[in-house]
Amino acid sequence: MSLIPNKISFSDIPYTRPDMESLKFKYSELQKDFNQAQSAEQQLDILDSWNELRMQLSTISSYANVRLTQNVKDEWAISEKEFLDKHSPTLSEWNTEFTKAIVDSKFRKEIEKEWGSLFLEKIELGLQTFKPEIKEDMIEESEQTKKYSEILASAQIEFDGEIHNISSLSPIILSPDRETRKRAQQKLYSFIGEKAESLDTIYDSLVHIRTKTAKKLGFTNYTELAYKELGRTEYTRNEVAVFRKQILDVIVPLVHRFKKEQAERLGLSELFFHDENLLFADGNPKAQGDPDWIIKRASEMYKELSPETDSFFTMMREQGLMDLVNRPNKSPGGYCTSFASYGIPFIFSNFNGTTHDIEVLTHEAGHALQSFMSRIHKPMEYRWPSYEACEIHSMSMEYITWPWMENFFGPDTDKFKYYHIVKSLIFLPYACAVDEFQHWIYDNPEATPQQRLENWKSMEQKYLPWRTYDDNPVASQGRVWQMQAHIYKTPFYYIDYALAQICALQFWVKSRENQKEAMKDYLHICEIGGSKTFLEIVKEGNLQSPFKEGTVADIVKVADTWIKERTPMFIKH
């Protein structure tokens, strides 16, 4: 497959606010022509035009979102995002009407042959998740999630005479000095406490809006709708519950041991909440250079990894398709998006001088590479797979690049690898806590904000039994989950990370045994994109399903053996 990049730079991407009257006419004409077509060839040509129009609108939306997250106070970006959010439900309505015509087409067999059966399955699923009656609810939901993002991005946290946002405070929370990290953690949650009433109100609104929307669409509760929206056709909440049980039985006891070893490494008699993210007494491993140095080393890494990753990362660098460094008014977090009309991705992150700088770069590069390689697919539905499959690409890239970690961490490379694998396993119970919490939330939509806090505390007791708070009243109230943006903005998209982590750990094993074969399988599933389902992608990648009994235990056994062999070198006696 050719990986010749589109030469447009991010700064040159054109933007024109959509003319809704013109778009209404275009959609109307497309549907009329489609219904009147006398041959499969004519309908397929019209499908191409419809797909091109959707890609243009997706590109416009992605561009406006990137600009807003780059600067949440950018008045132009705020205005454009508001316009797009307001009219997005109308565009959904027009697309839904067109997809109904596709589903009912007398040339359906020919369309399926050209565009694939999964395309038809996906658009039929989409018909179950939208009706014109929910348009106002969609607008209100978008408005509420925007309020949440604005609150987090507005953080101006004073610490020792300096003002920090959430991202720039993170390195201080990881300080080797216990009192410093404790005070920084307290400052962070004091900010959450100040915003607690607003955060509770926003979430209460979101739960009620989503529940109302689900019932309008004929679902018993929002959970049923969310699984449809996420494209989960191969498994239900029951299989997810069984997966969580595997994590509870296999991983939680293991992590409990890790936490005891961590306390010993840190020289502590008891590990508190503000200690949890510091794995080493002298500090977590950090890249040995500044952001420009990191990108230079990353370029060398991707050049050596494969021809595909070389051309891909060269494009990302030369065309300004990465915004990586933290700054004031920049939205926290990291993500990858794409500009469908040009077949190019974009990486957003907040480098802040922590270990996470390298993890987020390789993670989002995995997403971006998959998106770039999937541009060969015609239907937009195939450019990205479902979320849990997407996270296989990102998390696996973190492990596949292990042979090059010395480029970034130098003498701390072993320390980084130990940190990375241990943190990956520690993450799994937390992901399950978030998932079970959300199932409870939407099973009990009338619960009060206080009842939600109490339920979160019960989730911590179940999945994170080692967690102990010390003089952090806001966090100990059960408000830690309010820092997890997925819970507000993309419900139920979190267990996907845990499912993908089990797959990514399999790539870790494979790459250590045979890097070339692992890379071959990895590039293959990147190219598949969304043209196959999650479990089909798992199979294509020669991986075991995370739902299969024994998969979690088998992969964790390998990882724990590796960890046990290296634990003594990090504990000073």
Tens of pLDDT, residue by residue over 459-498, are: 999 999 999 998 899 999 999 999 999 999 999 999 999 9
Q: Is residue 119 part of a domain?
A: yes
Tens of pLDDT, residue by residue over 87-123, are: 999 999 999 999 999 999 999 999 999 999 999 999 9
Q: Is residue 516 part of a domain?
A: no
Q: Is residue 128 part of a domain?
A: yes
Tens of pLDDT, residue by residue over 167-226, are: 999 999 999 999 999 999 999 999 999 999 999 999 999 999 999 999 999 999 999 999
Which structure tokens are listed for 18?
Answer: 């959509």
Chain length of the chain: 573
User: Under the phi-then-psi rule, with left for phi > 0, alpha for psi from -120 to 50, and beta for the rest, what region is 106?
Assistant: alpha
Provide DSSP, 272-334: -GGGTT--STT-----SS-HHHHHHHHHHHHHHH-HHHHHHHHHHHHTT-EEEE--TTPPSS-
Q: Is residue 122 part of a domain?
A: yes
Rounded Cα gap, residues 348 and 322, in angstroms: 6
- Per the CB < 8 A criterion, the answer to whether 132 and 93 are in contact is yes
Task: Provide the whole-model pTM.
Answer: 0.94
Q: Helix axis angle, 20-36 relative to 40-70, nearest 10°?
A: 160
Tens of pLDDT, residue by residue over 530-543, are: 999 999 999 999 99
Compute how many other C-beta atoms are within 10 angstroms of the C-beta atom of residue 209. Answer: 21
Tens of pLDDT, residue by residue over 363-383, are: 999 999 999 999 999 999 999
Dihedral (CA of 238, 243, 245, 248) sign: negative
CATH of the domain at 15: 1.20.140
Longest dimension (CA), the chain: 81
Rounded Cα gap, residues 5 and 313, in angstroms: 10
Domain count, the chain: 1
**Phi, psi (rounded to 5 degrees) for 239:** -65, -35
Compute how many other C-beta atoms are within 10 angstroms of the C-beta atom of residue 70. Answer: 15
CA gyration radius, the chain? 24
Rounded Cα gap, residues 357 and 398, in angstroms: 12
Q: Is residue 4 part of a domain?
A: no
Tens of pLDDT, residue by residue over 254-293, are: 999 999 999 999 999 999 999 999 999 999 999 999 999 9
Q: Is residue 325 part of a domain?
A: no
Which domain covers residue 18, as residue numbers?
A: 11-136
Element (H, E) at 345: strand 344-351
Rounded Cα gap, residues 204 and 155, in angstroms: 22
Rounded Cα gap, residues 361 and 347, in angstroms: 8
Q: How does strand 157-159 pair with strand 322-325?
A: unpaired
- Per the CB < 8 A criterion, the answer to whether 155 and 168 are in contact is no
Residue 362 has pLDDT above 50, yes or no: yes
**Mean pLDDT over the full length of the chain:** 95
Tens of pLDDT, residue by residue over 438-456, are: 999 999 999 999 999 999 9
- Per the CB < 8 A criterion, the answer to whether 453 and 479 are in contact is yes
Q: Is residue 48 part of a domain?
A: yes
**Phi, psi (rounded to 5 degrees) for 159:** -145, 115
Q: Is residue 320 part of a domain?
A: no
